[in-house]
Amino acid sequence: MKQKTIGRPATLEGVGIHFGNEVQLHLKPADKDTGIVFIRTDLPGAPRVPARLEFTRREDRRTVIKKGEAEVYTVEHLLAAANAVGVDNLEVEINGNEPPAFDGSSGEYVKAIMDAGIVDLGTPRNEFTVIQPIAVSEGGATIVAMPSEGPGLTISYTLNYDNNTPIPSQYLTVNISEETFQSELARARTFVLQEKAEALLEAGYGKGANYDNTLVIDSNGDVVNNKLRFEDEFVRHKILDLVGDLMLTGFNINAHIVAMRSGHRMNIKMGERLIDAARERELRKKKTLFGATTMDIRQIEKILPHRYPFLMVDRIVALEGDEKVVGIKNVTINEPYFAGHFPGRPVMPAVMQIEAMAQVAGALLLTKKENLNKLAFILSIDEAKFRKVVTPGDQLVLEAKPIRIRSRMSAVETRVLVDGEVVSEAKIKFMLIDSN
C-alpha cells in the first residue's frame, strides 16, 4: 500500500462538541511522511501539533493532542475518516481548539476527503503486522491485538456496561475498509446517558452538544428527540473511535483487534503497546541483518558433520563464549522438503526447525577446545513449542544458550525468531562422543 493525501483543499465549518465554539477548518494536501498535522492558525506563530501518540494527553470521552502550549481536542472523528479511506498525510488548519462536531459522527469528514480526491504519493505506507497477541486491560476494560487471517484491520467490539445502565449489550465485528467504514461506521454518532449529561457539563464536556449531534439515552433506554440510524449504533461509534485513535500510531495496522468496554484511554494504551512492539521488532531485525559474520559457511562445515541438503545454518553472527550463539538460516523455496511438505502451500516442517536449532547449538558446543573432534547426538527434546509457520522468504534467527555443559553431556535452550518474534523453541539435551 502507498501513502496518500488529498487532491485539493477542502473547507469545513461548525461547532465543537465540547467547547461549543464556532470553528473553521481547512484540509490541505501534504507531502509523504508528513502524517496528519493540526495547525492552530488562531495562535501566534500558527503552531503545528502532529497527530501522533507521543503528543497525546489521556482524557476520558475525547482524544486530545498537545505540543507546547497548543492543544487540539476531540480529533478522533476526523482521524477515523482519514484512517479508513487511507489518507496518511494531511495538514489541518484550524482556528480553534476543537474540530467541528457536525452530527457527532465521521460522515462529514469522509465526504469532504472523498470530494477533495485522494492522491497516491508513491511511497510505501508504514505498516505493522501483529504476529503475537498484545493485550492491555484496566478496570474491566480490555483490548487484545491478535494476528489476523489476512492483511488489513478487523475490529471486534463488545459494548457491555453494568446491569444498571439502560444501554443494552452490543457486539459487532467489522473488517475495516473504505467501503465498510462508509456503509457501517461513518454515520454512527456519539452518545451519552441522560443522567450523566449534567455532570459532564459541569466537568467541562459537551458545551456544544445537542440532540442533533449527541444521542441522549433516557432511563428506559430510549433516544431522546432523535432516532437511531442503526439498531446497534452505540457499538458502531465505539469502533469508529478506535479506528481514529489507532491512526495516532502512524502506521497501517494488520491485525484483529478485540475490544471490550474500552474508551479513549485504553485505545491510546493499546497504540503505545503496538508502537513499542514495532520498535522492538525493528531493532532486532537491524541487529540481525547488519551484524558481523563470526563464522561463514566454510568455517561451519569444519565443525558440523552436515552437508546439503541437511546443513541448516548459513552463518554464525554471534558466538559469546559459553553464553550464547546466534546463527542465521535463510529459508528459500529451493529447500528440498518443500516439494513434498504441504505442496501448494510451502511450510517448513517443525522437525527441520528443531534440526536447525540443534545445529546452531552444536556450533556452541563443538567450538569449545575440549570438544574438538567430537560429535553431538541428540538425547532428548523437551518443551518444544511451535507458535507460527515458517515459509519461503523468512530469515530464521537461531539462538542457543547453555543450560549446562559437561564433557559427555550438555543441555541447551534454543529458539527460532522471524522478524524479532519467536516462532519455535525447545530444550535439547546432547551426548558428546569422540568422532573416532
Q: How far, in whole angstroms, is CA 201 from its chain's centroid?
A: 35
Q: How many CA atoms lie within 13 A of 72 on its CB side?
A: 32
297-434 has the same fold as 2-285: no
Radius of gyration from C-alpha coordinates of the chain: 27
* Percent of the chain scoring above 70 in pLDDT: 97
pLDDT digits (tens, 9 = 90+) for 167-208: 889 999 999 999 999 999 999 999 999 888 878 877 777 889
* CA gap 246, 249 in Å, rounded: 6
pLDDT digits (tens, 9 = 90+) for 148-169: 888 899 999 999 987 778 888 9
- How is the chain split into domains, by residue range? 2-285, 297-434
Confidence of residue 104 (pLDDT cuts 50, 70, 90): very high
pLDDT > 80? residue 370: no
Average confidence (pLDDT) over 338-365:
89
Average pLDDT, the chain: 90
With beta carbons less than 8 A apart as the criterion, state whether 316 and 363 touch: yes
Confidence of residue 319 (pLDDT cuts 50, 70, 90): confident
Confidence of residue 331 (pLDDT cuts 50, 70, 90): very high
pLDDT of residue 120: 95
Average confidence (pLDDT) over 45-59:
92
With beta carbons less than 8 A apart as the criterion, state whether 226 and 211 touch: yes
pLDDT digits (tens, 9 = 90+) for 38-49: 999 999 999 999
Catalytic residue among 18, 77, 237, 264: 264
Question: Which has the minimum average pLDDT: 370-374, 377-381, 384-388?
Answer: 370-374
pLDDT > 50? residue 290: no
Nearest alpha-carbon partner for 76 in 62, 88, 86? 62
Q: Domain 297-434 in CATH: superfamily?
A: Hotdog Thioesterase (3.10.129.10)
Number of helices (H), then strands (E), in the chain: 8, 24
Q: How far, in whole angstroms, is CA 181 from its chain's centroid?
A: 19
pLDDT of residue 179: 96
* CA gap 126, 45 in Å, rounded: 30
* CA gap 75, 109 in Å, rounded: 11
Nearest alpha-carbon partner for 73 in 60, 89, 54? 60
pLDDT > 80? residue 320: no
With beta carbons less than 8 A apart as the criterion, state whether 399 and 325 touch: yes
Q: Domain 2-285 in CATH: superfamily?
A: lpxc deacetylase, domain 2 (3.30.1700.10)
In what helix (H) or strand (E) does residue 286 lie, and over which residues does it extend? Answer: helix 264-289
pLDDT of residue 201: 79
Question: Which has the minimum average pLDDT: 32-36, 95-99, 118-122, 206-210?
Answer: 206-210
Exposed, middle or buried: residue 307 (CB in 10 Å: 0-12, 13-18, 19+)? exposed
pLDDT of residue 285: 64
pLDDT digits (tens, 9 = 90+) for 60-101: 788 999 999 999 999 999 999 999 999 999 999 999 999 999
Question: Which has the minimum average pLDDT: 20-24, 27-31, 360-364, 398-402?
Answer: 360-364
pLDDT > 80? residue 55: yes
Average confidence (pLDDT) over 3-19:
95
* CA gap 222, 341 in Å, rounded: 59
Number of Cβ atoms within 10 Å of the Cβ of 380: 11
**341 an active-site residue?**
yes
| Higher-scoring residue by pLDDT: 239, 342 | 239
DSSP state of 264: H
pLDDT > 80? residue 321: no
**18 an active-site residue?**
no
